[in-house]
Amino acid sequence: MAVIDIKNIARHFTVGNEVIKALKTIDISIEKNEFVALMGQSGSGKSTLMNILGCLDTPTKGSYYLANNNVSQLNDNSLAEIRNKEIGFVFQSFNLLPKSTALENVMLPLIYAGYNSEEREKMALDALEKVSLSDRVTHRPNELSGGQRQRVAVARALVNNPSIILADEPTGNLDSATSVEIMALFQEIHKNGNTVIIVTHEDEIAQYAHRIVRLKDGEIESDTINKSPINS
């Protein structure tokens, strides 16, 4: 069953008198529990597509069904509600609150989701255990390594039990050894049933995914199955 179904999506931006066609015509379907890498150089349209997939932006035209909901033209409040329920985000720069502990950072999405304090703490502790950080719950970001900070970000993405994990250059600020650890974590998340979509320009990172979609000039250049994903 497709958790994401995009048909004839385009995204245009007007800059002065010029119309920039960041996405021209995109058709893509992603099944539940797929592990997909979106690849492309700067200007390929991959970040624009990621923003649409993550309900951070709406397309100029076309349809986008997310978990059977047509989210193509929803208003900002409705998009935020869908986003909080269906999608867990992981960013290159971690996006953690510097003065908050690991536990407090992971609990943050649950506040918006309306859980009480007891529920929030239990769910956040469970999420931190899944990423092997039970011994770091009271540490603040500046007391954690880069890999540990990204694990906190992954725990925060998992805490709402979203159907999709969307990661934007999740290893971009990490060294090679830590990148391998984080990608192994994404593989574990995928094995546990989540749909995982990673946006990257690094071929070695894309090779962990089971499907690789390459964008060029606002269009899909290729969409292939990776027959030999790393460590799969």
Can you give the chain as a three-state secondary structure string? CEEEEEEEEEEEEEECCEEEEEEEEEEEEEECCCEEEEECCCCCCHHHHHHHHCCCCCCCEEEEEECCEECCCCCHHHHHHHHHHHEEEEECCCCCCCCCCHHHHHHHHHHHHCCCHHHHHHHHHHHHHHCCCHHHCCCCHHHCCHHHHHHHHHHHHHCCCCCEEEEECCCCCCCHHHHHHHHHHHHHHHHCCCEEEEEECCHHHHCCCCEEEEEECCEEEEEEECCCCCCC
pLDDT single digits (tens) 172-209: 888 999 999 999 999 999 998 999 999 998 999 999 99
pLDDT single digits (tens) 54-71: 998 889 999 999 988 899
* Mean of all residue pLDDT scores within the chain: 92
Predicted pLDDT of residue 232: 59
Is pTM, for the whole model, over 0.85? yes
In the chain the domains, ranked by start, together with CATH numbers, are: 2-225 (3.40.50.300)
